[in-house]
């Protein structure tokens, strides 16, 4: 792990986006195998390109990489990439407004060359940043604290208390080059948000995208901490309480009670059955094939299927061994296993 300081390789974000899209693809395949897709699983991904990991050429390349990974939007901030800090940390260094616009242009050029309409999000850290690399851009000069001098690294110091106005000025300048504007704040200050939104040329845009960047981080870590603490005190009871909560959440759409089903084991079992002439269904009975069929049938048993008249012709062409009402083995002679599955599921729907 790394802190939020752009210390990780620049291809890490695109690789993560690619993995997320692969996960969504698997979810779509699972739902399709369980009766047909009911939603579009490929939700838009808004990716973080940090400060671009360098200059305009770096922004150009990382934008292309994100597009290839299948993201819908990419976010760029106006910090100096080599000194990049988390928005809530001190010591942030801004690049000139013109340099940030150049980076945004590079990202837009990458999207145009790829021929993919991609949303670009421009973020400014001017609200809490204290340093600026250069006084070249006249849009930044009024916010430079000239009497305070420069740092040993040569950075200009910014005036205290001018951050919000600096944010507004930078955002107005970036508006023609981006699709969405975002300013990093240290606190959720509604008065500042109102002032920012009502600035010239920004009021009509409004706030359309409200999100929590750390929701997953805090939920996962706190959830595991609570489990470990309670497990120490109460043993397996603590874990069973979590499972009980999972079971109760199923009626609201929660699907991760069966971990093997959640990652697509049933889907791949059906692929195997479709291409295998002789197949032992008992190998799959507990959590994969039967779970998959139950999604169609809506019941917990498949026994009635075995007594059905509709599959009598299929039985004549199939070697079936039964025990306690379960199918143990199907050795298909005249029909392909794919047709067996089709008739099986068709009957399951009618029976239940």
- Lookup: tokens for 137: 């851009």
Phi and psi angles of residue 204, each rounded to the nearest 5 degrees, phi first: -70, -20
Q: Look at phi and psi of residue 229 and say left if phi exceeds 0, alpha if psi is from -120 to 50, else beta.
A: alpha
Tell me what pLDDT residue 186 has.
Answer: 67
Q: Using an 8 Å Cβ cutoff, are 86 and 61 in contact?
A: no
In the numeric block, the tokens 């029909």 are attached to: 335
Residue 209 lies in a domain: no
What is the distance between the alpha carbons of residues 163 and 176, in angstroms, rounded to a whole number?
21
Closest CA to 133 of 110, 104, 100: 100
Q: Are residues 244 and 268 in the same domain?
A: no
Domain CATH code at residue 31: 3.20.20.60
Tell me what pLDDT residue 24 has.
Answer: 93
Residue 327 lies in a domain: yes
Average confidence (pLDDT) over 135-158: 94
Regarding beta strands 318-323 and 326-332, do their DSSP bridges make them parallel or antiparallel, or are they unpaired?
antiparallel
What is the distance between the alpha carbons of residues 112 and 116, in angstroms, rounded to a whole number?
6
Tell me what pLDDT residue 289 has.
Answer: 47
Q: Are residues 138 and 76 in the same domain?
A: yes
Q: Are residues 41 and 119 in the same domain?
A: yes
Structural domain boundaries enclosing 136: 12-197
Q: Which of 146, 167, 197 is the last residue of a domain?
A: 197
Residue 206 lies in a domain: no
Q: Are residues 113 and 179 in the same domain?
A: yes
Cβ burial of 36 (10 Å; 0-12, 13-18, 19+) is: exposed
Q: Are residues 310 and 326 in the same domain?
A: yes
Residue 76 lies in a domain: yes
Q: Using an 8 Å Cβ cutoff, are 309 and 343 in contact?
A: no
Residue 204 lies in a domain: no
pLDDT tens per residue across span 241-296? 998 999 899 899 888 888 888 888 877 877 777 777 655 554 554 444 445 444 44
Q: Are residues 131 and 220 in the same domain?
A: no
Residue 49 — very low, low, confident or very high, per pLDDT cuts 50/70/90?
very high
86 is annotated as an active-site residue? yes
Q: Are residues 182 and 146 in the same domain?
A: yes
- Lookup: tokens for 260: 């093997």
Q: Are residues 83 and 71 in the same domain?
A: yes
In the numeric block, the tokens 């917990």 are attached to: 300
Q: Are residues 192 and 294 in the same domain?
A: no
Q: Are residues 45 and 173 in the same domain?
A: yes
DSSP string over 125-151: -TTT--EES-S-SHHHHTTB-GGG-B-
Q: Using an 8 Å Cβ cutoff, are 95 and 133 in contact?
A: yes
Residue 210 lies in a domain: no
Q: Are residues 227 and 105 in the same domain?
A: no
pTM exceeds 0.85 for this model: no
Q: Which of 169, 197, 225 is the last residue of a domain?
A: 197
Q: Does residue 319 register a pLDDT over 60?
A: no
Average confidence (pLDDT) over 190-196: 70
Residue 100 lies in a domain: yes
Closest CA to 49 of 91, 78, 5, 13: 13
Number of domains in the chain: 3
Q: Are residues 137 and 23 in the same domain?
A: yes
pLDDT tens per residue across span 89-144? 778 999 999 999 999 999 999 999 999 999 999 999 998 899 999 999 999 999 99
Residue 2 lies in a domain: no
pLDDT tens per residue across span 200-229? 554 455 555 566 777 888 998 999 999 999
What is the distance between the alpha carbons of residues 127 and 160, in angstroms, rounded to a whole number?
10
Percent of the chain surpassing pLDDT 90 = 43
Tell me what pLDDT residue 278 has.
Answer: 58
Catalytic residue of the set 59, 86, 114, 304: 86
pLDDT tens per residue across span 162-185? 888 999 899 989 999 999 888 887
What is the distance between the alpha carbons of residues 209 and 179, in angstroms, rounded to a whole number?
12
What is the distance between the alpha carbons of residues 11 and 21, in angstroms, rounded to a whole number?
16
What is the distance between the alpha carbons of residues 167 and 123, in angstroms, rounded to a whole number?
9
């Amino acid at each position: 792990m790394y802190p939020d300081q752009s210390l990780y390789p620049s291809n890490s974000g695109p690789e993560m986006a690619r993995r997320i899209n692969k996960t969504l693809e698997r979810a779509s395949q699972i739902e399709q195998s369980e009766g047909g897709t009911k939603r579009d699983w490929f939700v838009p991904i808004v990716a973080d390109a940090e400060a671009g990991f360098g200059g305009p050429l770096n922004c150009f390349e990382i934008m292309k990489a994100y597009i290839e990974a299948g993201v819908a939007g990419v976010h760029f901030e106006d910090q100096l990439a080599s000194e990049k800090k988390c928005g809530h940390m001190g010591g942030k260094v801004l690049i000139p407004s013109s340099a940030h616009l150049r980076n945004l242009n590079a990202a837009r050029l990458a999207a145009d060359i790829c021929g993919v309409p991609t949303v670009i999000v421009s973020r400014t850290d001017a609200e809490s940043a204290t340093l600026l690399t250069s006084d070249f851009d006249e849009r930044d000069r009024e916010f430079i604290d000239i009497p305070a001098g420069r740092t040993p690294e040569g950075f200009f110091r910014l005036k205290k208390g001018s951050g919000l106005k600096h944010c507004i000025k930078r955002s107005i300048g970036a508006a023609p080059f981006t699709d969405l504007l975002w300013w990093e704040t240290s606190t959720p200050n509604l008065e500042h948000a109102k002032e920012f939104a009502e600035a010239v040329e920004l009021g009509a845009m409004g706030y359309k995208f409200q999100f929590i960047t750390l929701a997953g981080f805090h939920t996962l870590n706190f959830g595991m901490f609570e489990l470990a603490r309670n497990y120490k005190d109460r043993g397996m009871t603590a874990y069973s309480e979590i499972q009980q909560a999972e079971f109760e959440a199923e009626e609201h759409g929660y699907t991760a009670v069966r971990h093997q089903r959640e990652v697509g084991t049933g889907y791949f079992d059906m692929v195997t059955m479709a291409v295998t002439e002789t197949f032992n269904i008992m190998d799959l009975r507990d959590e994969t094939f039967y779970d998959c069929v139950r999604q169609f049938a809506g019941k917990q048993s498949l026994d009635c299927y075995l007594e059905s008249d509709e599959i009598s012709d299929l039985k004549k062409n199939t070697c079936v061994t039964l025990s306690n009402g379960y199918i143990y083995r199907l050795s298909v002679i005249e029909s392909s296993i794919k047709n067996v599955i089709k008739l099986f599921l068709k009957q399951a729907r009618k029976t239940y």
